[in-house]
């Protein structure tokens, strides 16, 4: 079955000039033909079905934005097959544009000096949205966010949160099949992040819109994505459900204990006793990251109980954030 987006062994190379140092080097660069090839995306294959929310993750410079730019049709892949809604995006950029919506967290497509409603009216004409569709969209928006407060405010007077919210609404306005959200919650406060997540989820549910989300905030991933794709250095590291992710590097759990006496001293003792596990401590807790494939948490706990006076304990599942961190640090192996 082929999905709404399908990438088959996609590679994108950039030619980058080898820059030299210093003023003299810069002058020589003017005449240099010394290019090197940088593979930003290297053999990525994936299928995305209509209505999915896919978290597209990777460290900075991993090639996420490049992939998104290829899917939107701004960049042409160096090799491989890429279909979005059955079309080759870079060849049919205008038609493709009709079916996708884009939000780049740090940029706005809205008309800066004008009230939001004017931007909406413009988009309505540009995307040739019918009056009925526009009205029903407005109704939907009204039920999801406090739209009246935003509509008559010039975009430049909005807070970053309001602007992002508006940009998301603008991207969904022409009821696209796919919306690309590139770090939509960047720089937002906790409550605004929650609002934006709820909004994205609701729009995805109501319109069955496919959402491709890149983010560095694991809160976004936990709240929105069932499936995540991780890339690094252009290569795909992981593509599966978020549940499987936690078992990706063995089943980790964090055992937290509080002991009487000098916590720091006890912590370093435990570190010696359990050389195979990572031990860290702060003022309140000593945390042991237990790999359950090696030994059970309960065994570790009873071992510790013999030697130390444990006053309190907590058991934590490893967070998505920690797994991802491990994957990033592990890199491509």
Partner 1 sequence: MNLKKYLTLTRAGAMETLQYRASAVVIVLGNLLYLTIVYFLWKAIYASSPSEVVNGMTFYDTLIYLVLAAALAASIEMYTVWMIGRDIQSGKIVLDLLKPMEYRSFYFWSMAGSMVMNFLMTFIPTFIAVEIMTHGAIHIGMNIVWFLIALVFAVLINYSIDFIVSTICLFTESIWGINIMKQVIIMLLSGATIPLAFFPDKLRAVVDHLPFQSIYNAPLSLLLDSTGDVRKAVTTLATQLMWCVVMTVISKLFWNVSVKQITVNGG
Residues in touch with partner 1 (CB under 8 A): 14, 64-66, 68-69, 72-76, 90, 93-95, 97-98, 100, 102, 104, 107-109, 111-114, 118, 121-122, 125-128, 154, 182
- Residue closer to partner 1, measured from CB, 114 or 263: 114
- Residue closer to partner 1, measured from CB, 73 or 85: 73
- Residue closer to partner 1, measured from CB, 93 or 307: 93
Query: What strand order describes the sheet that includes 79-84?
Result: 35-48, 5-17, 79-84
Q: What is the largest CA-CA distance in the chain?
A: 74
- Residue closer to partner 1, measured from CB, 82 or 257: 82
Q: Shortest approach of partner 1 to residue 213 CB, angstroms? A: 15
Q: Shortest approach of partner 1 to residue 19 CB, angstroms? A: 13
Query: What span, in angstroms and rounded, lies between the C-alpha atoms of 142 and 123?
Result: 18
Strands 210-214 and 178-182: parallel
Q: Shortest approach of partner 1 to residue 6 CB, angstroms? A: 20
- Residue closer to partner 1, measured from CB, 113 or 315: 113
Strands 235-241 and 252-259: unpaired
Q: Shortest approach of partner 1 to residue 49 CB, angstroms? A: 23
Query: What span, in angstroms and rounded, lies between the C-alpha atoms of 43 and 8?
Result: 8
CA atoms within 13 A on the CB side of 203: 33
Q: Shortest approach of partner 1 to residue 241 CB, angstroms? A: 26
**Per-residue DSSP letters for 185-250?**
TTT--HHHHHHHHHHHHHHHHHH--EEEEE-S-HHHHHHH-SEEEEEETTEEEEEEEHHHHHTBTB
Helical ranges in the chain per DSSP H: 22-29, 64-72, 93-99, 116-126, 131-144, 147-151, 160-172, 190-207, 218-224, 242-246, 263-273, 297-307, 320-330
Taking alpha carbons only, the member of 231, 226, 211, 216 closest to residue 5 is: 211
Query: Rounded to a whole number, what is the distance in angstroms from the first to the last CA of the chain?
Result: 30
Q: Shortest approach of partner 1 to residue 325 CB, angstroms? A: 21
- Residue closer to partner 1, measured from CB, 167 or 279: 167
Q: Shortest approach of partner 1 to residue 130 CB, angstroms? A: 11
Q: Shortest approach of partner 1 to residue 95 CB, angstroms? A: 7
Q: Shortest approach of partner 1 to residue 112 CB, angstroms? A: 7
Query: What span, in angstroms and rounded, lies between the C-alpha atoms of 307 and 261?
Result: 13
Let me know: does 291 contact 265? Beta carbons within 8 Å: no
- Residue closer to partner 1, measured from CB, 80 or 247: 80
- Residue closer to partner 1, measured from CB, 158 or 270: 158
Burial bucket for residue 24 (CB in 10 Å: 0-12, 13-18, 19+): exposed
For the chain, how are helix, strand and coil distributed in percent, rounded to 5?
40, 30, 30
Let me know: does 12 contact 66? Beta carbons within 8 Å: yes
- Residue closer to partner 1, measured from CB, 73 or 184: 73
């Amino acid at each position: 079955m082929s999905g709404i987006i399908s990438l088959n062994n996609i590679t994108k190379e950039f030619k980058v000039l080898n820059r030299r140092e210093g003023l003299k080097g810069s002058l020589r660069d003017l005449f240099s033909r010394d290019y090197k090839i940088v593979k930003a995306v290297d053999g990525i294959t994936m299928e995305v079905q209509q209505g999915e929310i896919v978290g597209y993750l990777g460290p900075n410079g991993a090639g996420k934005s490049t992939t998104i730019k290829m899917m939107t049709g701004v960049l042409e892949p160096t090799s491989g097959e890429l279909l979005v809604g059955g079309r080759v995006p870079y060849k049919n950029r205008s038609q493709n544009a009709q079916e996708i919506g884009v939000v780049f967290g740090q940029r706005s497509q809205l008309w800066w000096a004008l009230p939001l409603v004017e931007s909406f009216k413009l988009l309505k004409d540009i995307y040739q949205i019918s009056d009925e569709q526009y009205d029903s969209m407005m109704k939907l928006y009204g039920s999801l966010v406090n739209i009246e407060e935003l509509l008559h405010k010039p975009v430049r007077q909005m807070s970053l949160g309001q602007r992002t919210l508006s940009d998301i609404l603008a991207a969904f306005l022409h009821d696209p099949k796919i919306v690309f959200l590139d770090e939509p919650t960047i720089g937002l406060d906790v409550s605004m992040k929650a609002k934006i997540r709820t909004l994205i989820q609701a729009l995805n549910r109501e319109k069955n819109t496919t959402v491709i989300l890149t983010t560095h905030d694991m809160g976004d991933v936990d709240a929105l994505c069932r499936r995540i794709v991780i890339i690094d250095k252009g290569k795909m590291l992981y593509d599966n459900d978020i549940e499987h992710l936690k078992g990706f590097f063995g089943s980790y759990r964090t055992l937290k204990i509080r002991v009487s006496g000098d916590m720091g001293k006890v912590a370093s003792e435990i570190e010696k006793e359990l050389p195979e596990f990572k031990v860290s401590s702060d003022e309140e807790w000593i945390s042991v990251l237990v790999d359950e494939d090696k030994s059970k948490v309960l065994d570790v706990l009873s071992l510790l109980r013999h030697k130390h006076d444990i006053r309190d304990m907590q058991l934590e599942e490893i967070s998505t954030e920690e797994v991802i961190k491990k994957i990033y640090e592990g890199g491509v192996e």
